[in-house]
Amino acid sequence: MQAFARLLDSLSFQPARNAKLRLIETYLRETPDPDRGWALAALTGGLDFPSAKPALLRGFGQEKIGEELFALSYDYVGDLAETLSLIWETDPAAGPPPTLAEVVETLQRATRAQTPAILKRWLDALDSTGRWALLKLLTGALRVGVSARLAKQAVANIGSQPVDAVEEVWHGLEAPYRPLFDWLLQGAPRPQSNAGAAFLPAMLANPIDRTELDALDPTHFRAEWKWDGIRVQVATSGGLKRLYSRAGEDVSGAFPDIIEAIDFEGVFDGELLVRRETAVAPFNDLQQRLNRKTVTPKMLKEHPAHVRLYDVLWLEGEDLRNLPFDQRRVRLEAWMALKERPRFDLSPLVTFADWAELAAKREEMRADGIEGLMLKRGDSAYLSGRPKGPWFKWKRDPMLADCVLMYAQRGHGKRSSFYSDFTFGCWRDGSAGGRELAPVGKAYFGFTDEELRWLDKWVRDHTTNRYGPVREVEQKLVLEIAFDGIARSTRHKSGVAMRFPRINRIRTDKPAGEADTIDNLLRLLTNSAPESPLAGGMSHAHYPGVTVTEEP
Amino acid sequence: MAITTASETLNPRTWLYPTPRGLYCEPGDFYIDPAFAVPRAVITHGHGDHARPGHRKALATPETLAIMRTRFQDMPDTEQQALKYGESVRIGEVEVGFAPAGHILGSAQAVLAYKGQRIVVSGDYKRRPDPTCLPFEPVPCDVFITEATFALPVFHHPSDAGEIGKLLRSVDTFPERTHLVGVYALGKCQRVIRLLRDAGYDKRIWLHGGLMSLCRLYQEHGIDLGDVAPVSEAILETFKGAIVLCPPSAIADRWSRRFADPIAAVCSGWMNVRARARQRGAELPLIISDHADWPELTQTLKDVGAPWVWVTHGREEALVHYARGIGIDAEALHLSGRDEEDS
């Protein structure tokens, strides 16, 4: 545990990717099985301890120093595990600290009732770094700036293998990954890759804008709508059915409705959406389904999941990744035509003769479920990573509104001493006759570090009221907010909610009275239900299956 | 216990209270650590947010006055009155004395007595041993004014030796890199040098030019810093494996480009909290502080036994809550012009 704690500690302060890799590689080489395997599981997000939840840790802290002091401490530190590790004191009589394997294996066997006593004994025995690492491990949020991909890269490096070779065998393995280390370090045979149900590293697109398009030949490219969901991979083989995120994380547990609906063999690339009847629900609804290890029947009923397919990587035992996009598309369409599958449909191609026509279609498209366009070369093989040239994403331009800063809250983590979460509002007629501001959204990015320091100072200098970590400020700073969509909301006082709002510019030049009104925002409302043609869709003006109606 | 008849009838806030210029003692007509130039000031120690130039008269320990002269071009326009620890002087109707605060060289608690009531203004203080200054001396009093820079139960400063050990281990691990250690120029710098010497490090320690004059002053006061030299005097020096001390701001400055693949170490109590350490860009955070941590603060309240405690300079809320919990009449005292980064 101590070696693992030192690793996490150094990783958390080391900003450079290569240095992080070296730290992980050194740890993996020097640490014996099974500790290193459990560490790898922790770094790739593969460990879960259902009996050690934040409420338990909060309870420990309150028991130690009382509710009030614990609340003040947590508010200052901004991280529950770190707070507890700092207020706890090492007990020299507690005996030697546990090993990582002891921690993992004990907790996997321990009942919910046994966990608190075990944890307390370990907290007494470890130093504050050890406690921090233990608690980070238990709560499942290491936050040391290491992605699963980076950890896999480090593993691949110690065996001088490409990272994709590790990815391909990864999902056939289980922690603590002894066969993986035997292969990479001892020359044992490569573990079975388990073909179809393994995650195949995704092909990613590069951003592009209108002017850059002119250098490209439009006849070489195919266009699809860029759906506003989550990119997923559906992978099945020999009865194994899995749903992976773009980064290779297994999210099957959160989407049993999709898993159950799989009655085929293959690997498909598509967009995960929430769909009711024939309409795609706003991204918000999909968010309700994410980051859950299990899901309730109510959730399944109210937020039914759906996958819109746009590529096929394997089909019935055949690897199609080296075929050109056009041929894969033919195979995909033919396969889709064989059978109706209610949870799956096909993402249509958007036809166009030249860039101007495509630009016009993109311009007209204001439906909420669409983020822009994807452009894929017809002759592109399916390559892992983000190759330059074959695939592009051409995002919709954001909408803009001038809003007035109303409240600011201190951030957490790296920003725990900065006012970095900003709530802003627009004008409407007030109850007392005059105009008042109604909050329309909250943004915590879009600004540079320098702008953050400026905003933090502005907030401190213009505070009118404090509510715990929140400050109310004078209503005089105008922020230009960029956002990708807007929807009616019953949860917001103003009746509207912005999608993905971020601070585009600080408008010190603009008086607050000239900021936008709620009425202005309502004019931007779009419908939330673009539809696909193969799910009972209809014909429409610019593309079959996509309805766009502007609010009057 | 110093409770007297007077202390029961006299409200201490009538003779010592905060004003926009600083903490004001009315029957003595002087300010303690004022934020602006005043006719008469009592200065607890030489840090910039306590000692400012331009006062007509300044009372402080001889060491603090020496520090102020070094920082403020000799202060020819200030009438300086030196008062040693344990001695006292009468200003107006108030008896003023100094007791060691253990914060930096010359740092003092101001002990004020008026009509049988005693108020101790602790200034900044710490309780653990520091090879560069005398240890804090608890003075029984009616009102204790305490700092609260690290007044949260999360602040447990580890042992100095352990933190210096971290630095020396890192120097061993990366012998080809320069260790740039960010330290506050007054107090922290000289303490870290002494701690390195006490840990057996006897190589030359390189200093940013801005740290030289105060190091010289410490040496004049009998504190042996060993072989130290300014970076600007280096000839044919690669700084590989060297320890270089500089103000924290210099780490990100163009100045630091001359060093070999430097590792940024920062010495401060704030390094206790990860988010703070990352904000400062520390790759090697070292928790070395000249302020009391939570156990030291709470122990001190018990040691001085004051029935009234006024809390200032930091996280007042938690310490006020704690003090009330053990039966002390505690409240926050808001003073302007304090700078939390000097730690």
Over the stretch B229-238, which tens digit does the pLDDT of each residue have? 999 988 878 8
**Chain A contact present for B277, CB below 8 A:** yes
Percent of chain A at pLDDT > 70 equals 91
In chain B, count of helices (H) and strands (E)?
9, 19
Gap between the Cα atoms of B152 and B318, Å rounded: 6
Within 10 angstroms of residue B48's Cβ, the number of other Cβ atoms is 14
Q: From the list B285, B321, B322, which residue is nearest A13 (CB)?
A: B285
Report chain A residues whose CB lies below 8 A from the CB of B282. 13
Q: Which of the residues B152, B169, B284, B317 would you substitute to probe the A interface, choosing the one with the greatest number of A C-beta atoms within 10 Å? A: B152
Q: Where in chain A is the domain with CATH 1.10.3260.10?
A: 2-139
Q: Which residue of B has its CA nearest to A453?
A: B279
Count residue pairs from A and B with Cβ separation < 8 A.
65
Q: How far is CA B34 from CA A247, A357, B73, B150, in A?
A: 58, 71, 19, 22
Report chain B residues whose CB lies below 8 A from the CB of A68. 321
CA of A172 to nearest chain B CA: how many angstroms apart?
A: 36
Q: Where in chain A is the domain with CATH 3.30.470.30?
A: 206-395
Contact check, Cβ <8 Å, A69/B273: no
Within 10 angstroms of residue A66's Cβ, the number of other Cβ atoms is 15
CA of B214 to nearest chain A CA: how many angstroms apart?
A: 31
What's the CATH number for A399-516? 2.40.50.140
Contact check, Cβ <8 Å, A69/B322: yes
What is the residue-level pLDDT of chain A in tens, covering all 552 positions? 988 998 998 888 877 787 789 889 989 998 999 999 999 999 987 787 776 678 888 999 999 999 999 999 998 998 888 999 999 999 989 989 999 999 999 988 888 888 899 999 999 999 999 999 999 888 777 778 888 889 999 999 999 998 888 887 887 788 899 999 999 998 888 887 655 577 888 899 998 988 899 999 999 999 999 998 899 999 987 778 889 988 788 888 889 999 999 988 899 999 999 988 777 887 777 877 876 767 888 888 888 999 999 999 999 888 899 999 999 999 999 999 999 998 999 999 999 999 999 999 888 876 667 888 999 999 999 998 888 889 999 988 888 999 999 999 877 655 656 888 999 999 998 877 789 999 999 998 889 888 998 999 999 889 888 876 688 999 999 999 998 778 777 777 788 888 889 999 999 889 999 999 998 888 877 543 333 333 322 222 222 333 232 222
Domain segments of chain B: what residues?
5-154+291-332, 160-286
**Chain A contact present for B315, CB below 8 A:** yes
Q: From the list B158, B275, B317, which residue is nearest A416 (CB)?
A: B275
ipTM of the complex: 0.87
Contact check, Cβ <8 Å, B317/A79: no
Gap between the Cα atoms of A109 and A548, Å rounded: 54
Q: Is CATH 3.60.15.10 the classification given to domain B5-154+291-332?
A: yes
What's the CATH number for A2-139? 1.10.3260.10
Q: Which of the residues B274, B321, B339 would you substitute to probe the A interface, choosing the one with the greatest number of A C-beta atoms within 10 Å? A: B274
**Structure tokens of B321?**
């809550």
Contact check, Cβ <8 Å, B275/A72: no
Q: Are B23 and B16 in contact (CB under 8 A)?
A: yes
Q: Which of the residues B152, B154, B297 would you substitute to probe the A interface, choosing the one with the greatest number of A C-beta atoms within 10 Å? A: B154
Q: Where in chain A is the domain with CATH 2.40.50.140?
A: 399-516
- CATH number for A206-395: choose from 3.30.450.20, 3.30.470.30, 3.40.50.1370, 3.40.50.300: 3.30.470.30
Contact check, Cβ <8 Å, A79/B284: no
CA of A147 to nearest chain B CA: how many angstroms apart?
A: 19
Q: How far is CA B274 from CA A12, A289, A320, B79, B281, in A?
A: 8, 32, 47, 45, 11
Equal fold, B5-154+291-332 vs B160-286: no
Q: Which residue of B has its CA nearest to A62?
A: B153
* Polymer length of chain B: 343
Instruction: State the CATH architecture for B160-286.
Output: 3-Layer(aba) Sandwich (3.40)
Q: From the list A66, A77, A414, which residue is nearest B278 (CB)?
A: A414
Q: Tens of pLDDT along A514-530?
A: 999 998 888 877 543 33
Q: From the list A14, A83, A414, which residue is nearest B279 (CB)?
A: A414
User: DSSP secondary-structure letter at B336?
Assistant: S
Q: How far apart are the first and last CA of chain A?
A: 62
